[in-house]
Amino acid sequence: MQQFFLQKCGKVHNFGCKLGNLIQIQKAHMSIDVDIETRPKLRKHERRKHILLELRLRPHVRISELADRFRVSSETVRRDLEKLSADGLLDRAHGGALALVSGKYPTFDERATARVEERERIGRVAAHLVQPGETLMIDSGSTTLQLARFLAFDGTACTVITNSFPVAMALGQSEAANVIICPGDYLPSESAVIGTDAVEFLARHSVDRCLIGASGIAEAGPSEAVRGFAAIKRAMLRQSAIAHLLIDGQKFGRKSLAQVGNLSDVSSVVSDQAPAEELAASLKRANVEVLVAR
């Protein structure tokens, strides 16, 4: 009888333990559900940083998955992706986005060691366009680096906003230059920053002139092989009273991946040679002055 009673007690105890475990599990699930429903929604810039982080972990994200995770509409996520794509930080795909795939475009270091004499001539002429005391925006590039070196060598007094570390370092050699570096996402192959933070920073400033490079220029306008740079250049063009395009003659007639703007967005083109007749006529119609660095 005693043994029977102990067996029954044991079964009741086991059932009680199991019931207790089930209750604890249920409470945990309820707690998770409450956390998901009550946690604060991410702000716009936080969502976009999460999207970029996700693309570092896997090559593709879907709009529907992101909308569920962020508890926002698909249209909100779509706007996030469009903005990140415009800033050159991801590639749009059907129903989502893809991580950027590095192309075969030469790195900054590779470009800086090619056609040095031509780039120096362009940089010297462009430096003489800058008036003492002016505010400037200078983007990243091997030709704009030569411009920065001549500005420093001449001791030209100026305030420069740039996304390029080599440009900033070159101008930093001059006591007359005040250098401001954009915040943003660091691009090691270019020693420069790109992205939403950089574009938004540029939009908060207005300058007398910008001096930018490009991967190519054709009748449609200047274009850029590094997508993140295209957004930077567009921002600089918008915020400048005068815009100069520094480009070597081998890039005339070339069309690269991302369109920077129209020919009319540029005040002058500084190059080591004159463009071919067709492009020269288009530049003239757009009232763009061509300066040839001899």
| Pair 32, 82 in one domain | no
82: which residues sit within 8 A by CB, 6+ positions away? 92
What is the CATH number for 48? 1.10.10.10
Same domain, 4 and 94: no
Do 51 and 125 reside in the same domain of the chain?
no
Six token digits for residue 97? 């986005």
Q: Which residue has the tokens 């002016």?
A: 134
Three-class SS state of 67: helix
Cβ neighbours of residue 145 closer than 8 Å, sequence gap 6 or more: 112, 123, 164, 166, 167, 170
pLDDT of 226 reads 84
39-68 pLDDT, tens digit per residue, is 578 888 889 888 888 887 777 888 988 998
119-174 residue pLDDT tens = 999 999 999 999 999 999 999 999 999 999 999 999 999 999 999 999 999 999 99
Flag whether 103 is in a domain.
Answer: no
Q: Are residues 144 and 198 in the same domain?
A: yes
With beta carbons less than 8 A apart as the criterion, state whether 150 and 223 touch. no
Asked whether residue 11 falls in the same domain as residue 119, the answer is no
d(CA 244, CA 139): 11
pLDDT in tens, 228-273: 899 999 999 999 999 999 999 989 998 888 899 999 999 999 999 9
Which stretch of DSSP H or E encloses residue 69? helix 63-70
Q: Which domain holds residue 208?
A: 108-292
Task: Please indicate, yes or no, if residue 155 is contained in any of the structural domains.
Answer: yes
Q: Are 67 and 75 in contact (CB under 8 A)?
A: no
Instruction: Specify the CATH number for the domain of residue 165.
Output: 3.40.50.1360
Q: What domain count does the chain have?
A: 3
